[in-house]
Structure 1
Amino acid sequence: MDKNLKRMATMHRMQAKGLELFYKKGFYNTSIDDILKELSLSKGAFYYHFQSKEDFFISIIQNLIVRKVYSMLIEPIEGESDPLVAIEHCFENALSTAEHNEFDYGFVLGNFINEFNGRNDEISKYLRDIYKVWEVNLVTTLQKGKTDGFVPRHLDSEGVAAYLISSYMGIRMLMVEGNNKNLSYHFMQQTRQYLKSLAVTRLV
């Protein structure tokens, strides 16, 4: 195998395992030694690729967390004609994935935003940037829905986006300790009613 490809494969394996550990235990409760033990690596091998635990985590944000949030919550609504239907299906699919994940420790982005808030400004900025991209995507989709006649022009797109994001992050947190199937079902029932209330009333 080409040396560069081998290095990339090693880094991906390290990042995937690191994300799993940080997601399960939290960044501050996971030590370098924990990571080395899981990966069967020496400290020298770790520091060959990364300068510190923080540097390692930033690489995880850039290569894995961005991709996870984008593929699950951003890409599914891009370019869709009816934004409200697209958002409903997006949330439904994302919650279904979480519901069947036996190692669900909450919404990965929400977990880390909470953990780093007030503790690490640099990492917090990276995480907030992902949040902002998600928020802008929702606002843009809703604005397009106004132009296309699916939602009324007076709709507060920023307010709706903030509500949808906070409600999704909240239900993911509750699903960790509760009956996730039941919680997901009731959340989607209410979300459908909310999204329906936003739609333009069409005359038959």
Structure 2
Amino acid sequence: MEKNLKRMATMHKMQVTGLELFYKQGFYNTSIDDILKQLDLSKGAFYYHFKSKEDFFISILQNLVVRKVYSMLIEPIEGHDNPLDLITNCMEEALQTAEHNENDYGFVLSNFMNEFNGKNPEIMKYLNDTLKIWEVNLVSALQKGKFNGYVDRHVDCEGVASYIISSFLGIRMLMVEGSATALRYRYMQQLKFYFRAIAQKQTA
């Protein structure tokens, strides 16, 4: 039991460090030697836990990236309240977190999707599946909003979900090199304007 806990703790530490390096440098620009140096591990210790760098990266996707996307973008919009308000608050918080991150290299999921697109179908499947989970939950929240009278019944929930995802990925990319505070403010103002347009109009 104690041995298993120690092994899990070691793997978690390796994954956290690996994610930091991959996020900063990219997968292909990060070598196993870079990881070993950062962790002060031998190659034997690395290969005891993982078969390859790719296997290591997939474990990071499964254990850290999916959890990060869920806690930041999915869990906050679950519930029966007005989904437009929940999504607005969720986007605002996610962008504020990025704005105050001194080492912001962009949204981790889209960074990896750009890097692996056309290069590694297996890893792209994990990344696309994670994005699909986010999309499905957005669609579900919006449909629930239509049923509960918050979203106009003529709204295309799939289209709105696609717009939210693509606009979020875009603003996160711009915030890396641009004026993050001003970009966040302008984006949120336009998102709120758009949401007012698709909200169910209350009759007097």
The normalised TM-score by structure 2 is 0.98
Q: Which runs of 5+ in 2 are unaligned?
A: none
Deviation at 1:91, TM superposition (A): 0.1
What does 1:66-77 correspond to in 2, within 5 Å? 66-77=66-77
Structure 2 letter corresponding to 1:68: K
Task: Give the count of matched residue pairs.
Answer: 204
Q: Secondary structure at the match of 2:200?
A: coil
The normalised TM-score by structure 1 is 0.98
Q: Does the alignment pair 1:63 with 2:63?
A: yes
Q: Say what the alpha-carbon RMSD is for the aligned residues.
A: 0.8
Deviation at 1:72, TM superposition (A): 0.2
Question: In 2, distance between residues paired with 1:146 and 1:80?
Answer: 11
Question: In 2, distance between residues paired with 1:71 and 1:192?
Answer: 22
What does 1:47-196 correspond to in 2, within 5 Å? 47-196=47-196
Q: Which runs of 5+ in 1 are unaligned?
A: none
Partner of 1:28: 28
Partner of 1:3: 3
Deviation at 1:153, TM superposition (A): 1.4
Residue identity over aligned pairs, in percent, reads 70
Question: In 1, distance between residues paired with 2:50 and 2:184?
Answer: 39
Question: In 2, distance between residues paired with 1:100 and 1:63?
Answer: 24
8 A Cα contact 2:113 2:124, kept in partner? yes
Question: In 2, distance between residues paired with 1:152 and 1:203?
Answer: 12
Question: In 1, distance between residues paired with 2:48 and 2:120?
Answer: 24
Question: In 1, distance between residues paired with 2:24 and 2:188?
Answer: 26
1:163-198 deviations in Å (ceiling 9; x for gaps): 000000000001100111111111111111111111
Q: Secondary structure at the match of 2:14?
A: helix
8 A Cα contact 1:88 1:191, kept in partner? yes
Deviation at 1:80, TM superposition (A): 3.7
8 A Cα contact 1:109 1:127, kept in partner? yes
